[in-house]
Structures are given as C-alpha cells and as structure tokens.
Structure 1
Amino acid sequence: MKKLFTALPPLLVICLLSLGTPAFAAKWTDYSLVAHALGGIDQKAYTNSYEAFETNYEKGQRIFEIDLQFTSDGYLIGRHDWSAYAFQSLGQALTPAITGGPLPLADMKTMKMFDKYNALEFSEIIDLMHEYPDAYFVTDTKSTDKDMITAQFSQIVELANEDPYMLERIIPQIYNESMYPVIEKVFPFESYIYTLYQTTDSNQKVLQFVKNHKKITAVTMPEWRATAGFVGSLKKINKLAFVHTINSPEEMAKYKARGVYGFYTDFVTPEDLKVYYAKKAQETAAKSAKASSAKTAKKA
C-alpha cells in the first residue's frame, strides 16, 4: 500500500489537505451510496479487504462501511465476526484454532480470504485515509458493551493521532441511545449514523432521539422499516434515511420514491445508477413521444 501522506511532516499534511480538491471538499452526505463491508469484489461480499476498497474506490465509491472486531491481541481489524461460518464463507480453511473467538493479528494477516484478499487492520485504514483524502469510513463495531465501545473508539482516535482532519471523515454508527454519549466521551465526532438493525425502539422513539441530537445526521434501516411515513418523518426533521443492503438500481428506485436518500450496497456503483436513470429517462421520453404522436394522428 502506498503511504504518500504518512511520509510527510504532520503540519505539511494538514496544509496540503486544507488546500482541498473538488472531491475532498465534498461532505460525506453528498454521496448516496455506502460500500457495504468496503464493497463487493468478484461478486463476493463481506471481505472488508484492501482489494475491495481499491476496487470500489476506482468504481467511484467514496463512503465505505467497515465491520470492525478486536483480534485476540487487541488490534482492530476489518472482520464481520469470528464464527466458523464467517471463515468458511470467506474461503478460509477451518483449523483447530477457529473456535468462535478472535485470532491473533499475525494469523489474520497471513490467512487470506479466497486465497487472495487481505484483511485490513485499522492502522491501515488510516494509511488509506491519508492516501485517499476524499474517502469516508463508516464504522460497524457491533458491540453495545460500554467498555468495549470505549476501547474500540479509543483505539480509532489514537491511531488517527486525534487529528480532526482525519476524524471528521470517520462516521460512527450507533446501535442504541446509550452508545452515543459513550463515544462522545472518547471523542466528539462531527457526524453519526443511527443504524436500527439492533434496536427494538419504536419509530417515534427513534425520531425523538435523533431530533434531539443534531450530530446524528442519518438513520440507516432494514427494508421492512423503510415505510413512506417513517422516511417522511425523518425528512421533516432534516435527517437522511439510508436502507441496507440493496444490490439493484431497480430496488433503489423503489425506495427513492418513498423519500429514501441513500443505500448501503455490495455491488451497485455510481455509474450503475447513472446508466439506470439515463435508460429510464429515455424510456419516459419515448413513451411521451409515442403518446404525442398518437394524439396528433387522432386529431388528423
């Protein structure tokens, strides 16, 4: 991996980044797609791998959700979970050491996924953030335990060297109301996402909570929860609605019609959406022309 910015003095890095580019000047909310688990690669999802990031960045993705777990020796690494199924589904052979608990970092760095994809520890995510100053990372840290949350985000902040220029491009996901102040105590991040897949709170309770917390910018939900009423209520209080995990432009269009702003996706790219909506526009124009022609012929 290239480490262009890490080779420069910190003050010079800050100055270079502050100059900005049109892409870097964008906010994360300017993008409507979130690459789920760093995005799919070769039709494979959940790798959270370096190769997945590189592939999907090249395809135009700029927001990357990453699953994060602690290794047995205390390093945050891109990993959904430690189950035997997770290893099997990523093409990693089961060994006696795989018992449903975390493995050491060294083992995870040598155990490639599908024999070719490399796991990323969080320090390498920071390297990527230096190299790609227009990339944003959404955390999926899974845990709701206070001590675990504190340890996870303390490591994230420490690895980012408490640099606000870096940390404003990390968007923590919270899973319940009590998680928010725990993270804020570690570091006051600029923006949060409330993801609802772990909570049983009612829509009304969610609405009241996010309304009272300005830094919660967006709410992410499973498909069943993305009703027009709930999405509309979020829009009224200036909160963005995201739905996970959607892998077809047609499905995205359906939810867009309800007012959904964006989507977590394994495989849909910005170019896919551009092509889809261009095709729909052509079809609409063709239908309109046909109707107009028929109306003219009838008058004649």
Structure 2
Amino acid sequence: MKKLLTALPPLLVICLLSLGTPAFAATWTDYNLVAHALGGIDQKAYTNSYEAFETNYEKGQRIFEVDLQFTSDGYLIGRHDWSTYAFQSLGQALTPAVTGGPLTLADMKEMTMFDKYHALEFSEIIDLMHEYPDAYFITDTKSTDKNTITAQFNEIVKLANEDPYLLKRIIPQIYNESMYSTIEKVFPFESYIYTLYQTNDSNQKVLQFVKSHPKITAVTMPEWRANANFVSSLKKINKLSFVHTINDPEVMAKYKARGVYGFYTDFVTPDDLKVYYAKKAQEAAAKSAKAAASKTSGKKA
C-alpha cells in the first residue's frame, strides 16, 4: 500500500487517505441487530471474546454490545460479572483466586473461556475499531455508582485518545437519568441508549426524559416492557426501540409488527433474517396464488 501511495500525485494521496476515516461508514442506526456480548459463538453466549467479535463480524453484524468490568488492577475488560457462576458458565476453572471478585488483567488474559476463547481488554477493542472502521460498540458497564461510571468512561475516552472519530462509534448505555449527565461530564458522546433493565421508572417518565435529551437515540427494553403503546409513543418522538435478548426470527417478527426497530441477539444474523422474510414472502405468495386459483375455479363451476 505504501509503494502504491508514493507513486500517486500528492493531492490524490490525501484524498485516498481521507477515505480511511470512519466518515464514510453508515451510522449505527442503519442496523437493527445488536450482537449481544459481542455475539454468540459455537452456541455459547456471554463470552465477550475476540473470537466472538471476529465470528459475528464475518456473519455481517456491525453493532456489538460489550459488557465491561474493571479488573482488580484497574483495566477495563470485556466481562459480564465476577461471580463464581460466571466463571463456571464460561468453562473457567474455579481456582483459589476466584472468590466472587475481580481478578488481575494478567490472570484474565491467561484464563481462556472453554479453553479457546480470549477475553478482550478495552485497549484491544480500540484496536479492533481501527481495524474495522464500520464496527460500532455499545457499552454495558453495569454500574450505577457515580464514581465507578466516571472512572469507566474516563478510561474509555483515554484509551480512544479522545479521538472523536472513534468515540462517535461508541454508544454508551445509561441505566438511569443521572447517569447521562455523569457521562456527559466525562465526554459529550454523540449518541446514547437508555436501557431499562435497571430502572423502575414508568414508561411515561422514560418518555419525558428521552424526549428532553435529543442525544438519546434509542431505548432498549426487556420483552415484557415492549408493548405496542410504549413502542408507538417512542416512535412519535423519533426514538428507536430495541428489545433484548431475542434469538428467534419469528419472535423478532412479532415485535417488529408492533413497531420495534431492532433487537439484541446472541445468534440471529442479518442473513438469518433475510432467509426468514424470504420464506415468509414465498409462503404468502403461494397462499395468494392458491386463493386466486380457488376463486377462478369457483367461477368456472
């Protein structure tokens, strides 16, 4: 690539290099599937692993939700939680160090999941963002403690070198109203998601809050909350609605009929949805043709 560039006129070189910025990429809202915990791999969920990202990127996913926790020595790493159950469910041995609290980064990097998947520290996620300029990352940082939130997002911004082109591809999830202002004091991110799994606020209160904050682009909710009324109300104020975590195209179609825009998923890919809707279209066409044939034969009789 370097030899090719040196052979080109300087102005053309500048133009070509400018194409390397993420400015040409689609925005994250152009996609309606979110790879939950970087997506499932080999029918296993919640790995937040390098291999999960690579596998799901190859399958066409472009938005990746990642669980983030601090290690005991202060590094941000892809991890749902530090419970003994989390270690067991990821095929990790319960060593004397596993006591329900965070481990060191070195311990986590040495401890693979299911003997083959590797944890990602956030600096490596930044590397992936450089390598894959059309990939977006939604944070699931878990904590509602103000000091922890501030530390987490200070680390995210620092590791991104305050690069606005990178940070516009990071979409923080907030869990309550106060978290929005806490993050904004660290860095004014371009877009936010209000995820409702940790709040007891009424739908009306959520609507009022997101309406008054234009940078909150979407609201993510569990299935029980995704009624047609709430989804419709969000759409009226130009907010996207997402439902988590759905692994069946048929269920997705049910919520889509209610007006839901997108879904967090472990295993459903863009191709899966194309196949599903193509099959439904064929079934509808066959049903229509059968009805027309029946109508014609009735007239002849």
TM over 0.5: yes
For 1:70, the equivalent position in structure 2 comes to 70
Q: Give the gaps of 5 or more residues in structure 2.
A: 1-13
Task: State the AA in 2 paired with 1:234.
Answer: L
- Report what 2:100 is aligned to: 100
Whether the 8 Å CA contact 2:245–2:265 is kept in 1: the answer is yes
Normalising by structure 1, report the TM-score: 0.94
Amino acid paired to 1:62:
R
Summarize deviations over 1:89-125 as a string: whole Å, max 9, x none. Answer: 0000001111111000000000000000000000000
**Alpha-carbon offset, residue 15 of structure 1:** 2.9
Contact 2:71 2:102 in 1 (8 A): yes
Counterpart for residue 48 of structure 1: 48
Compute the displacement of 1:48 (Å): 0.1
Tell me by how many angstroms 1:155 deviates. Answer: 0.3
Deviations 1:226-277 (A, max 9, x none): 0000000000000000000000000000000000000000000000000000
Partners of 2:193 and 2:216 within 8 A in 1: yes
Partners in 1 of 2:232 and 2:195 — Cα distance? 17
- Aligned 8 A contact 1:140 1:173 in 2: yes
Aligned to 2:273, the other structure's residue is in SS state helix
Specify whether residues 19 and 60 from structure 1 end up closer, same or farther in structure 2 by C-alpha distance, changes over 3 A only: closer
Per the alignment, residue 186 of structure 1 pairs with 186
Counterpart in the other structure of 2:117: 117
Correspondence for 1:170: 170
* CA 20–201 in structure 1, closer or farther in 2 if over 3 Å, else same: closer
- Percent identity at matched positions? 84
Aligned partner letter, 2:199: T
CA RMSD of aligned residues (A): 1.4
AA of the residue aligned to 1:143: S
Q: Do the aligned residues in 2 keep the contact of 1:157 with 1:187 (CA within 8 Å)?
A: yes
Q: Distance in 2 between matches of 1:137 and 1:165?
A: 13
Give the structure 2 partner of residue 200 of structure 1: 200
Q: Which amino acid aligns with 1:165?
A: Y
> How far apart in 2 are the matches of 1:202 and 1:275?
37
- Structure-1 residue corresponding to 2:18: 15
How many pairs are equivalent? 287
The residue that corresponds to 2:242 in the other structure is 242
Give the TM-score, by structure 2 length: 0.94
Runs of 4+ in 1 over 4 A off after TM superposition: 11-14
Which residue number in structure 2 is paired with residue 225 of structure 1?
Answer: 225
Deviation at 1:16, TM superposition (A): 3.9
SS of alignment partner, residue 213 of structure 2: coil
The alpha-carbon deviation at position 13 of structure 1 amounts to 11
Question: Contact (CA 8 Å) 1:66, 1:137: kept in 2 or not?
Answer: yes
Maintained 8 Å contact 2:22/2:165: no
Q: How does 1:236-275 map to 2 (within 5 A)?
A: 236-275=236-275
| Match of residue 8 from structure 1 | none
* CA–CA distance in structure 1, aligned partners of residues 266 and 275 of structure 2: 18
SS at match of 1:197: coil
Cα pair 2:22 2:134 within 8 Å, conserved: no
The Cα shift of 1:17 comes to 2.7
Instruction: Supply the distance in 1 between the matched residues of 2:16 and 2:73 (Cα, whole angstroms).
Output: 31
2:114 and 2:60 mapped to 1: Cα distance? 24
Tell which structure's C-alpha radius of gyration is larger.
2
SS in 2 for 1:17: coil
**What corresponds to 1:213 in structure 2?**
213
Cα distance in 2 for partners of 1:142, 1:119 equals: 17
- The secondary structure found in structure 2 opposite 1:178 is helix
Q: Is the 8 A contact 2:249 2:273 kept in 1?
A: yes
- How far the C-alpha of 1:19 sits from its partner, in A, is 7.7
Partners of 1:77 and 1:46 in 2: CA distance: 13
Q: Which amino acid aligns with 2:50?
A: Y
8 Å CA contact 1:14, 1:165 repeated in 2: no
Judge conservation of contact 1:228–1:259 (CA < 8 Å) in 2. yes
Q: For residue 10 of structure 2, what is the aligned residue in structure 1?
A: none
Q: 2:297 corresponds to which residue?
A: 297
Letter in 1 for 2:115: D
